[in-house]
Structure 1
Amino acid sequence: MSDALKPFADRRLHFVGIGGCGMSGLALVARELGAQVSGSDAKNTIYTQSLERNGVTGVVIGHSAESVPDAPAEVVFSSAVKPENIERVEAARKGLGELHRSGLLTQITRLHETVAVGGAHGKSSTAALLAHVLSWCGKDPSYVVGALLRPPGVHAAAGAGGTLVIEADESDKSLLSYHVHTAVVTNADLDHVGDGGGYRDIADVATVLGEFAAKAQVAVVSAQAAEHLRPHVPGMTVVDPELIDGEPMRFRLDGEVYEVNQPGVHQMHNAALVVHVARTRGCSAADTRTALLSFPGLARRFELRGKTASGARVYDDYAHHPVEVAAALAAARQVAGGGRVLAVFQPHLFSRTQQFQAEFLDALAAADQAWVEPVYPAREDPAQWTHVAESLAADADARRPVLAMSPGREELAEQLRHKAGDGDVVMLIGAGDVNTLAEALVS
């Protein structure tokens, strides 16, 4: 038996960076498959909290050599964990095997009939919705999703139904290594230009997503993605729902009408892909309709965090690409009705901010008032990118009165508490820690 297929019960896996969305999901599934799991992360996150709630013990906050187990064990790491990390250095000293996160996920895809959701936007939402629908229909899938479902808050599970639902990230091209039965592509768009992805243009993205879809036995793509993937995937199924005007949000697909409970036109396109895959896997139209309406949504995906003392609703959204920002604000406008939309945007990664600076600020102009926070550096060194923040500030300042740079979290929270009134919507947008602002706004 190969290492990839050996029983997980024989394995001791230590996850360095276990608090990441993808890593924590893999840790949950590995544990459910029988592996002994431990891990560490630099800080406590919603994902480490989810691990604790779901019975994963042995998670240490902070990296140290003492956390690394003795042989026999394997160390799992993500691209964010560099070779000089103290635990990776200690693992090498102990002679432990190392495995990239994508390598472990590849091993898991060999154990199941895998449905992998790729695309520039909407991977987490679509994969989570598909896992939810299949579960509701009694298919008991395994799944690894890169965002927490709202209560019960589990984003990964090892089911007994034989199907695995995952999201396939194109950022480092690791999606090409997965063993995929059904490839789902939500859309094709340019991202990950200077942050390790190495994409030059949309043609590069189409080539990678096309290879991903062409390798699968079945390829299911949106109409938008199809425009880019046709040269690469001649046998794909294109899902193009008929959107029905008005409220509630509904669409027609293959003669059946379905309703979604998440705001935004993009959610109907995501749901249509889910409906198609679910129907091909034995879900009835009636069960699928009920499942769509029971979907709780994802944490940090247009998540209602509460209301201010004056009655303004505060939403949190993980959007970090101009297309996603525009979609989040369109959904906010839909929810606000006649109220105003006030947005706070925290750019994520200097490279992405530099590449799409004008597009970000154009998207934010859809708000009645928007504040731009300093760039969240994530894995990039701020010392190497000072000109990006300066340029962003100058551009935002030139677009007043709609756009302005944040005066700082404390003062901005005070301004929002005074400005936002009953019927208004406050949108906190970004993949960094802008969501923590909700704690100062919600009464």
Structure 2
Amino acid sequence: MASGLPPAMDRPHFIGIGGAGMSGIAKILAQRGARVAGSDAKDSATAEALRALGATVHLGHAAGHLADDTTAVVISSAIRPDNPELARAAELGVPVVHRSDALAALMDGTRPIAVAGTHGKTTTTSMLAVSLAALGRDPSYAIGGDLDIPGSNALHGTGEIFVAEADESDRSFHKYAPEVAVVLNVELDHHANYASLEEIHESFETFAARIVPGGTLVISADHEGARELTRRLAAKGLPGVTVRTYGEAADADVHVTSIVPQGLRSEVTVHIDGAELTFDVSVPGRHYALNAVAALTAAVALGVPAEEMAPAIAAYTGVKRRLQLKGEAAGVQVIDSYAHHPSEMTADLEAIRGAVAAEARLLVLFQPHLFSRTQELGKEMGQALGLADASVVLDIYPAREDPIPGVTSTLIIDAARAAGAEVTALADRSAAASVLAGMARPGDLVLTMGAGDVTELGPEILDHLSK
């Protein structure tokens, strides 16, 4: 595969270098020999991992962080126009590159697999990366979350395959030209950028049209949004592209005939290309099992034998923040979940329910993510929390958004209570760990849930429980 640096990327500066997507690209460039620099709002283990690779990471944002010999400034859609480093780039005439363009350039000369979908992308991309590595294929990969240690979200491999998480939130996945594209599901989300489900479908159609001739679209046969996309693409035509569906639906090309829960894992049986294969998935839940089948189907589309790929999938044991066990204290397990969309919340809560003893209570500490998402999906989030025995809901984590008048966690709490759920509002985040620890009894399971900084509270809960 090509290992040289993309044009003008030998001395890049990343604004927000500690972010999940940005840090991965920075890591691959550093491993390819670029002199990487960047800035982030606060220090982190990810920033330290980049420093270990020789990158310069500044804390805070200031015009002076930008070196005079910088060849490109890399940004994400979260960077505001008034960022001082962005203004300095304009003064110096330094090209500004969106992270998706940088990632697309890194994929040149490889055989890319781009994994898309409203949810499940990180897990499926991780399964592909870990499984292909276990087979000795040494893929390059860029994932939206760490596999285990900080900085493990990306790698410059020596193999020909490049596995990338393809983000639909800002339409940046339109920049990629994959040999294999995976679409896990299609749902309305990212309300700041999409006004309707129709716009979401149009965006995924554009993504599918980017598949190179001779390539393959791997798409769910179970999810209605994905089936609708398949119908639309069939009507318009995808010249030179093979479409392979997967799932439990009877008409799926790769047909899942059984998913058998076995504690915190599953045994999956599929019919693929005339053969029956049974393999283990080392994480709980039907949705993770189906993600594994999507990974299997994608790898086979690139020529990896199914009978080799299926057992290799067992090498995947989870990714940070995707039902990650943080520890156990006083007989209480604490697990962390990145779920922030109602479908993800429901899937993770059902997975945990199916993996623990019937008498175990499930307690959830939920932090809503984004005002726009809460405004549109707050009711559904509240209904999802009905799957827990009791929940504590924090204030909305704003991320890149400004507040929207009238949009608060109350939208979720009211919906949850209307559905008969036991829910407590908690505005004081600093008190959350002690509150959850006080609620828990031996045998219970506590789930921290959300895409914001709620993930930091798991160790604090364990600390309170151990006292």
Tell me whether the two structures share a fold, i.e. TM-score over 0.5: yes
**Could you tell me how far apart the structure 1 residues matched to 2:150 and 2:394 are?**
32
Contact 1:9 1:34 in 2 (8 A): no
Give 1:267 shift: 0.5
Deviations 1:237-260 (A, max 9, x none): 101222233425122222111110
Q: Give the SS at the match of 1:79.
A: coil
Q: Give the SS at the match of 2:202.
A: helix
Equivalent residue runs for 1:351-430 within 5 Å: 351-382=372-403, 384-395=404-415, 402-406=422-426, 408-430=428-450
Give 1:64 shift: 1.3
2:38 — aligned with what? 39
- Could you say if the C-alpha distance between residues 7 and 322 of structure 1 is closer, same or farther in structure 2, counting changes exceeding 3 Å? closer
**Could you tell me how far apart the structure 2 residues matched to 1:128 and 1:418 are?**
35
Q: Give the SS at the match of 2:113.
A: strand
Give 1:402 shift: 1.1
2:203 — aligned with what? 208
Contact 1:171 1:192 in 2 (8 A): yes
Tell me whether 270-279 or 44-53 shows the greater mean CA deviation: 44-53
2:260 — aligned with what? 245
Count the aligned residue pairs: 433
Contact 1:396 1:405 in 2 (8 A): no
Give 1:24 shift: 0.2
Query: What is the letter of the counterpart of residue 24 of structure 1?
Result: S
Contact 1:133 1:288 in 2 (8 A): yes
1:100 — aligned with what? 98
1:332 — aligned with what? 352
Deviations 1:246-291 (A, max 9, x none): 4251222221111101111100110001112223434344543442
2:339 — aligned with what? 319
Contact 1:346 1:430 in 2 (8 A): yes
**Could you tell me how far apart the structure 2 residues matched to 1:396 and 1:366 are?**
10
Give 1:48 shift: 1.9
- Could you say if the C-alpha distance between residues 152 and 403 of structure 1 is closer, same or farther in structure 2, counting changes exceeding 3 Å? closer
- Give the fraction of aligned pairs with identical amino acids, expressed as a percent: 37
Deviations 1:174-215 (A, max 9, x none): 11121211101111111011x2x22412x3222221231233
Give 1:323 shift: 0.3
Give 1:392 shift: 4.2
Give 1:151 shift: 4.3
Contact 2:383 2:419 in 1 (8 A): no
Aligned-residue Cα RMSD (Å) equals: 2.1
Contact 1:261 1:295 in 2 (8 A): yes
Tell me, which stretches of 5 or more residues in structure 2 are unaligned? 235-241, 248-255
1:302 — aligned with what? 323
**Could you tell me how far apart the structure 1 residues matched to 2:417 and 2:300 are?**
50
Give 1:394 shift: 4.7
- Could you say if the C-alpha distance between residues 262 and 153 of structure 1 is closer, same or farther in structure 2, counting changes exceeding 3 Å? farther
Equivalent residue runs for 1:249-264 within 5 Å: 249-253=266-270, 254=272, 255-264=276-285
Tell me, which stretches of 5 or more residues in structure 1 are unaligned? none
Give 1:169 shift: 0.7
Counterpart check, 1:341 vs 2:362: yes
Give 1:398 shift: 5.4
Tell me whether 182-191 or 229-238 shows the greater mean CA deviation: 229-238
